[in-house]
Structure 1
Amino acid sequence: MRDKAAVAAVAAVSVGGVIGALARYGAGTVWPSPWTILAVNAVGCLAMGCLMVLVTEVFTAHPLVRPFLGTGVLGGFTTFSAYCADFQRMLGEGVPLALLYLVGTLVLALAFVAAGTRITRRLAGVR
């Protein structure tokens, strides 16, 4: 039975990852800019903060919800490898805002996770 659960979790992460990656690719196609990756990462981190509160403190979720939405969809949607590649490219091209992009993405990501948890707890009446 444990093997079935593991296979189901891998399938949930895989399907979710495809959905998230396609959404990120779509955003990058519509708005081709390193700042799009910053926005994608911020939105994904906000959603992750909301999701974690919902599935751990508010609802008793199906065991596959967290792997599908968290690791899969949001893991595929957010990208710190593209963020690093964008920073390296910006630095190589002498873009003045490269350092702001590097630090700003990290700060925004952490701030948006925290904001997502706080907002969701407040709206759900938890803690």
Structure 2
Amino acid sequence: MNWLLVVIGAAVGAPLRYLTDRAVRPRHDSVFPWGTFVVNALGCLVLGALTGATLAGAASSRVGLLVGTGLCGALTTYSTFSYETLRLAERGWKFLAVANVAASVLVGLGAVHLGSQVARALAGG
């Protein structure tokens, strides 16, 4: 039944990714891939919170499969991030390509850390 938890999480994460990207993209008049940036940051925050909750004993491995592997796996996208970064560089926007990589890594790590700390504090651990 573990696979079913992953499928259910992914069935929520994939449309959430699509809808978030579609909501974010029109708000920015820029070639920067804001939609992908936002879904990846959001996924890092959720995964950090899940990790913090698990370490504090407030979440089980089954929740990890549902939310971590399923939802976050379908919500976030390293392949699209890589493709969009390459396209920026190929089109001459090298600064934006480097900024996308740097900002994505820094924001992603920060979001994981923040999520983990908040979840641990809420769980009392």
Alignment RMSD, CA only? 1.6
Identity %: 30
Distance 1:115 1:60 in 2: 17
What residue is the counterpart of 1:83 in the other structure?
Answer: 81
Three-state SS of the structure 2 residue aligned to 1:36 is helix
Unaligned runs of 5+ in 1: 1-7
Deviation, 1:90, is 0.9
Normalised TM-score (structure 1) = 0.83
User: What letter corresponds to residue 63 of structure 2 in structure 1?
Assistant: V
What residue is the counterpart of 2:22 in the other structure?
Answer: 29
User: What letter corresponds to residue 52 of structure 1 in structure 2?
Assistant: T
**Would you say how many aligned residue pairs link Structure 1 and Structure 2?**
118
Distance 1:60 1:46 in 2: 16
Deviation, 1:111, is 1.5
Aligned with 2:72 (options 54, 71, 74): 74
Structure label with greater radius of gyration: 1
Distance 1:58 1:99 in 2: 38
Distance 2:13 2:20 in 1: 11
User: What letter corresponds to residue 36 of structure 1 in structure 2?
Assistant: G
What residue is the counterpart of 2:28 in the other structure?
Answer: none
Distance 1:86 1:80 in 2: 10
